[in-house]
Amino acid sequence: MAVNSHDVWPYEIAKVTSFISDFSKTTSHYINSKLHTRYFTEYFSEKGVGARTVVVEADYVDRDFLLDYAGYYARCFKDYSRHCARLHFFTIEFSKTEFEQVLSGRNDQLKSKLMSQGSYLGFIVVKPVPQTVIGRTCLTTYDDTNTDREFPNTRNYEVHLFGIPLSVCTLAFQEQDQVVSACATSALWTAFHGTGKLFHHPIPPPIEITNAAYLVESESEPRALPNQGLSLIQIFHAIRAVTLEPFRVNALDEHVLKSTIFGYLKSGIPLVLVFYIYDNRTHPPSYMGRHAVTVTGYNIGRPEAVPFGSTDFRLVASRIDKLYVHDDQIGPFARVVFDGQHVCLTQNGVCTGVPSLSSSWPGADGTLDMGRIVPDILVAPLYQTIRVPFEVIHDLILDFDSVLQELGSHGFSDVSGEFEWSIYLISANDMKNEVLENPNIGSEEKREILLECMPRFLWRAHARSVKRNIDVIDVLFDSTEIKQGKLCHRVIPYDSKIWQLLVDLADAVVFLEMVQRDNPLVLSVLDQVKLQSS
């Protein structure tokens, strides 16, 4: 297939893969065997986003690849091009002739359609190198209207197609290069596209991430380029290189995995998930390697929250049944599912079942969808002043909820089993915007909250009454505090019954002594209630 400076053709996955093959000088057999091709086939189909037309920029300069090119490919003996191609996808049908009319200013109607919401699906950059051909890719998410899917860390990317202004709301993706980057580098690059917008730091290209990581020597490979992968310490170092702080969580436990992802991701902070891949059809399961992806979304599909352990503490996060990840070997927003299956791992002759997730990864024999994911570590790149970790607020609210569950046996109103909690980071600006628009907050209290000086990021513990289907309370915590300090910043009540209950509780000396003995951190909440009610 001839590669023109620009072209327009009706969407067909075969034509897309043929172009990629020709442009990158990679065999069509290899391109068609890639998991990305399988992903794009489903994504662009009628059941997916419904692509109709492709516009080709065959002479496109991509910043990330240009820097990778300057750092490595320019010094190869073989003459690699520094120009990429970019494929743009649309849901509307138009011909090359009609598109040429737009470029010559003679078809404003089509120009308006191209720019209209829902018409533009985004783009794929094709790199002029063999095999690892998928460069910076920005494709819209699946329609999440009237669904339980949430993609909290997407952002608007402004795109100019031959002078036509377009935009797509997504999070950037690219395949690992295997020369200037490995899977962890690609995962970090995607994560930095989210945190760069949120925390206002520069977004480095893959080669700069790799070079920053290799300021700490690898245990297995001292040479940065070609890159063989990053250790966990190098991942931490790369995060610190963009002025953020890494926060590590052991993620094998399903409750910890779900609640931590919800706690950080809902605020727009992508997380890097490191996991093992097993084929569970053999005994013992076949180990297939370690991999890193960026968690970019979740699906809250379970109808009811699951109580935590032996308690009656219920989190919205426990209702997550799917995660969406940018997996550089599969595609953007790839789905992994909590299906309840375990992988039996043997240690010292004893088989222990560990939680796992289904994925699109092939099994040991190449059979698709047979690779099981066993989570290992979550890494969150955080703003330096976010010092109170999620687990501290989780445990505090767990204790606070247990106190509320005990009220009935101490002569107070019985609210056992009533609350479902959402615990997550939120910016002060977003919190105040919600307060401004909330009709259930009195005018004087609303004014007081909006004028109040708050830390830039707060931990928000939001309780909803499952029995009455109403919002009950927000408990806000200072994310910059020290654990033993006054963590609770403010309590915002939405239900007079629960608020009066808390006021009475804060004045009950005998009950406060019990809380001081068994749940001392809860006192910061009750002290704040007493302060606000005085």
Residue 331's SS3 state is strand
- Residue range 367-392, pLDDT digits in tens: 999 999 999 999 999 999 999 999 99
Q: What pLDDT sits at residue 225?
A: 42
Give SS3 for 16: helix
CA separation, residue 443 to residues 436, 437, 439, 450 (Å): 9, 11, 9, 11
pLDDT of amino acid 219: 53
User: What gap in Å lies between CA 198 and CA 322, rounded to an integer?
Assistant: 24
**CB atoms < 10 A from the CB of 166, how many?**
17
- pLDDT tens digits for range 213-235: 888 765 555 544 444 568 899 99
Q: What is the average pLDDT across 65-94?
A: 87
Instruction: Report the alpha-carbon distance of residue 155 to residue 164 in Å, rounded.
Output: 20
Tokens matching residue 111: 């120009």
**Percentage of the chain surpassing pLDDT 70?**
94
pLDDT digit string, tens, across residues 446-499: 999 999 999 999 999 999 999 899 999 999 999 998 766 789 999 999 999 889
Lowest mean pLDDT among 125-134, 176-185, 247-256, 307-316: 176-185
The CA distances from residue 444 to 87, 207, 488, 495, 532, in Å, are 54, 53, 21, 16, 13
DSSP, collapsed to helix, strand or coil, labels residue 472 as strand
Share of the chain above pLDDT 90, in %: 69
pTM, two decimal places: 0.92
pLDDT bucket at 4, cuts 50 / 70 / 90: low
How confident is the prediction for the chain on average, in pLDDT? Answer: 90
Average pLDDT over residues 158-167: 96
| Cis ω before 128 (30° cut-off from 0) | no
Residue 75's pLDDT band (cuts 50, 70, 90): confident
Is the per-residue pLDDT at 181 higher than 70? no
Q: Residue 284: is the preceding peptide bond cis (ω within 30°)?
A: yes
Least confident of 178-182, 269-273, 333-337: 178-182
H-assigned helices in 279-417: 390-405
Question: Which of these, 140, 142, 234, 220, lies nearest to 183 by C-alpha position?
Answer: 234
Biggest CA pair distance of the chain? 83
Q: Where are the beta strands (DSSP E) in 116-195?
A: 120-126, 134-139, 149-150, 155-161, 164-170
Cα–Cα separations (whole angstroms), residue 227 to 52, 127, 133, 148, 210: 38, 18, 17, 38, 8
Query: Is 335 a residue whose pLDDT tops 60?
Result: yes
Cβ–Cβ under 8 Å, residues 381 and 195: yes
pLDDT above 80 for 161: yes
pLDDT per residue as tens digits for the range 246-277: 999 999 999 999 999 999 999 999 999 999 99
